[in-house]
Amino acid sequence: MAEVFVRRLSRWQAEQQREAVADVYVEAYRRVPGEESRDRRERDRQEFLETFAEDVQRPGFDMVVASGGNKPAAYAYGFVLDRAGEWWRALSGEVPWDWDIEELTVSGQVFALAGLMVLPAHRRGGVATRLVEQLLIRTDAALVAARVDPANEAAVGALRSWGWTRLGAVAPPGTVSDAPPVVLSDAPRVVSSDASSAAASDGTAATVPFTAVPVVGSGTVTDIWSRALTS
């Protein structure tokens, strides 16, 4: 595996590299061969480009790229969450580390990890870890959050190893959940290997409404994960 070099991109550089970013995204999240068509990949690519064009313009946008052999091997980017997003509304009870999620969000202190993509040839070498570390070094935010498909075992495993905590499940867009809010009292400071879902008071799986927290990767059923960036 060729050595990779990590560097930060300005907003202008990110816009200039949007086609390369889309290429890496499609390759990083391509489906099993035989289960997709060229048309589907092109749709995925166009949808990503549309979302990325909006994300680049968001407040606090930041991006890093890992290059190997003079070609992009991986990207990570994010931005400060919209203060009016109210993504915390269904998170009741005690949040880990005494987080006041509402206060942090309205004060612009929640950074969203919006994109993380690594080409297959550069995986299992710590590239994703380096990218996320470099992305978060410069932010003044107190909390980082993201949504991830729980079926993406690699992503979930990486978040655990980075000290992130699962806050709850997220209902897909256009759906309304009748489940009670997630209760996070007694949540451990260190996440164990147990991937069981948070449970509602009646024993059913608890979900929270669709939120503005962006999705990392692909998938429709997603969980919200987060980590404190300050002590």
Give the SS3 label for residue 205.
Answer: strand
pLDDT at 89: 63
Lowest mean pLDDT among 106-110, 111-115, 165-169: 165-169
pTM over 0.85: no
Provide, rounded to the nearest whole percent, the portion of the chain with pLDDT above 90: 34
Nearest to 118 by CA among 161, 156, 78, 65: 65
116 bridge partner residues: 76
Return all residues near 151 (Cβ < 8 A) that are at least 6 apart: 219, 221
Tokens of 166: 């699962």
- DSSP string over 63-101: EEEEEETTEEEEEEEEEEPPTT--TTTTEESPPGGG--H
Lowest mean pLDDT among 123-127, 128-132, 215-219, 223-227: 215-219
pLDDT at 97: 56
Average pLDDT for the chain: 75
Task: With a cut of 60, say whether residue 198 has pLDDT above it.
Answer: no
- DSSP string over 159-183: HHHTT-EEEEEEPPTT----SPPEE
Mean pLDDT within 207-215: 58
Q: Please, which pLDDT band fits residue 48 given cuts at 50, 70 and 90?
A: very high
Task: With a cut of 50, say whether residue 92 has pLDDT above it.
Answer: no
Mean pLDDT within 178-199: 27
Mean pLDDT within 158-181: 66
Entry field: residues in the chain:
231
Nearest to 155 by CA among 18, 29, 9: 29
